[in-house]
Amino acid sequence: MAADSMEIDDALYSRQRYVLGDTAMQKMARSHVFLSGVGGLGVEIAKNIVLAGVKALTVHDTKQCTKWDLGINFFIHEDDISSQRNRAEATLHHIAELNPYVHVAASTVPLDETTDLSFLKQFQCVILTEASLSLQKKIDDFCHAQQPPIKFISADVYGVCSRLFCDFGDEFEVLDTTGEEPKEIFISNITQSNPGIVTCLENHPHRLETGQLVTFREVNGMSCLNGSTHQVTVVSPYSFSIGDTSDMEPYLHGGIAVQVKTTKMFYFERLEKQLTNPLCLVADFSKPEAPLQIHVAMLALSRFQESFGRAPNIGCLQDAEEMLKIAVSISETLENKPQVNGDRVKWLSRTARGFLAPLAAAVGGVASQEVLKAVTGKFSPLQQWLYIDMLDIVTPLEKLGSEEFLPRGDRYDALRACIGDSLCQKLHDLNVFLVGCGAIGCEMLKNFALLGVGTGQDKGLVTITDPDLIEKSNLNRQFLFRPHHIQKPKSYTAAEATLNINPYLKIDSYINKVCPATENTYSDEFYSKQDVVVTALDNVEARRYIDSRCVANLRPLLDSGTMGTKGHTEVIVPHLTESYNSHRDPPEEEIPFCTLKSFPAAIEHTIQWARDKFESLFSHKPSLFNKFWQTYPSAEEVLQRIKSGESLEGCFHVIKTLSRRPRNWTQCVELARVKFEKYFSHKALQLLHSFPLDTRLKDGSLFWQSPKRPPFPVKFDFNDPLHYDFIVSAAKLFATVYCVPFTDKDLSEESILKITSAVKVPEFRPSNKV
């Protein structure tokens, strides 16, 4: 995205553009962001926001690369350690090459309680990781006091616990809290009462919330509602009230209520105040008490570091007891006086020097989303704390001796400090099968490399497969790929990039689909050798097939996927959980053919209609034509067999295609113009001829009432960009299908105008066919 001209590179940002919209994308492309701390969490955040496309990012760090970093930072390598490079400088090039539109700079100057913070005024968002609590408070106070406020985010991962804090100023306006398309509700009735009750069509819930606004259109009877806006009070899933309608005309029929998107104001408090009365998001509803308990534990950790000038020693029970005492005293100073969870405090103390890469990936993803919200004003922000722990992983390790967690001097010391050496060895010896090397697949491989999955001396192997080639649009979210990888196989490229993170990884890459046709490769014997199967797919059919193979071979399956701003994960374990195929979404409601052809009522109908037309004109009919000549390659033979009275399948279609096919560019444009008239004028006129607006059914009710909507013919206007684009696009498609050459001059507006002006458009002749 070129920030100066605000032109959006659609080839790169097409998927993200669909989710965020152009306004948010342009705001992001004007944003300067400061990130302090390029450890395992900081590099995750840097990666994500550079891929998203901010204008500039400054990464700050004063620490040198160490062996420890190899297991937590995927952009730091052995030579960075031997040359004792600064972490910001070592990662700068790798972060910058993720997106050519983002300017990335490094800073290595000290940042502490004595630093003049005026340099932060150039940034719209400031992110701190690995900073002391006192420094966080000082910088947050500075950011909060600016006009407009600088958005402040702090995030940390300590062993098995993590925290994220946001302060976007006293008032923060969000333009769109959900990013969802406004809901359209078809109306079946509106009562003449106080309050007036609006009822939806049967089996079409409105999905509105109390307090939201709707505007009305196409209402017959209570016509004064059309164009007016009303606040909704939900009565039931199929009805809502809108205020007094008792003085309005009686409702007759029809009408659509459209949700009105409104801005929402969010209010934030400074970090200093939030420390004693935190507003926490509950991430796990099975443990609603956890956020406050982790909050106390984290504050105790900060107090311990300030008091002793160090973090608690790995596995040290004495330090854990000391931190527990601090936690109890801190709890008494908080407004809610939360109960202290001794296990959480002790495990945080024992693992605080360690680092879990998957936890950092999750927290880094959330923190990056908050950055995008901060600079775009889109989507509801976090208010104001998020705490996540992985206590479930370490609780079974209670009886292990402290020596299990002590450093061995290799790249896995940070992981070992959290889960012990025995679990590290189990990860090294795992055989993992990963299906799909897209956005999620790249993240999985990065985590495998940092965890040392498949690196055992005698055991362990990561097998990956993906049949796709890399496209430019992949580069926006699949961080293992670069522009010079375009049109190369995803799996081979991903394997090579993963080995750059951890050269000790054993990885086999394939370009096969996983389906019944490849069961010779991915046989029962192959599955039986896998310790776990991981899917990172983009379709349900493939998931169901792989799930069936895992069930047959009793293999655990980890499934995940995303769509827009939404995502899911599912862990499937034999004899413990249900399988993927055990639960199915309700079948999608099929759109009746008559609705598509004549009575489209929703945008989904028009999209499906357009898709059907496209498939018919540019895929199905040409395929039938080609198939006929593959079956009967000789035109002379076809003529002789027709003359002899033989009926050849597809012959009529071939003759029709040959008689109507365009033979030059002019005829392609003429055909496009005729199609426009047919689709957008004649079809509407025919419907209105067959069913005039006052047509009534046998029971006396009007034919044209919800959900049917009467059509209105469109008059072709060359100066309308939508009409012009249809002509050019359709003409280019016809030319491509029928192998008609065209030049840039043919595509000029002058040339198109000359041809369309001369087209003899057939007059509409009504048919009596219904």
Write out the catalytic residue numbers.
594
Point out which residues pair with 557 in neighbouring strands: 533, 572
Side chain identity at residue 671, one-letter code: L
Residue 142: φ, ψ to 5°: -65, -50
CA 656 remoteness from chain centre: 45
- Where b means 16+ CB within 10 Å and e means fewer, 89-103 reads bbbbebbbebbebbe
Is 487 buried (19+), middle (13-18) or exposed (0-12) by CB count in 10 A?
exposed
How many angstroms separate the Cα of 223 from the Cα of each of 188, 231, 252, 254? 15, 18, 10, 11
Sign, Cα dihedral of 17, 22, 27, 30: positive
C-alpha to C-alpha distance for 567 and 20, rounded to whole angstroms: 16
Residue with tokens 């607006």: 693
CA 343 remoteness from chain centre: 36
Closest CA to 167 of 290, 85, 281, 266: 266
Cα angle 168, 175, 281 (rounded to 5 degrees) comes to: 50
| DSSP symbols for 642-694 | HHTT---TTHHHHHHHHHH---SHHHHHHHHHHHHHIIIIIHHHHHHHHS-TT
433 near 482, Cβ under 8 Å? Answer: no
C-alpha to C-alpha distance for 698 and 557, rounded to whole angstroms: 57
Find the length of the chain: 770
Sheet with 233-236, side-by-side order of all strands = 229-231, 213-217, 256-260, 184-190, 197-200, 239-241, 233-236
Tokens of 393: 């992983």
Number of H helices, E strands in the chain: 26, 23
CA 617 remoteness from chain centre: 32
Report strand pairing: 461-465 vs 507-510.
parallel
Q: Please state, as a whole number, how many other Cβ atoms lie within 10 Å of the Cβ of residue 31.
A: 23
Residue with tokens 């299906």: 435
Range list of H helices, 563-602: 593-598
Strand, coil or helix: what is 2? strand
101 near 8, Cβ under 8 Å? Answer: no
310 near 262, Cβ under 8 Å? Answer: no
DSSP-derived secondary structure letter, 489: B
Closest CA to 298 of 281, 270, 323: 323
- Residues whose CB falls within 8 Å of the CB of residue 735, separated by 6 or more in sequence, listed in order: 662, 665, 668, 741, 742
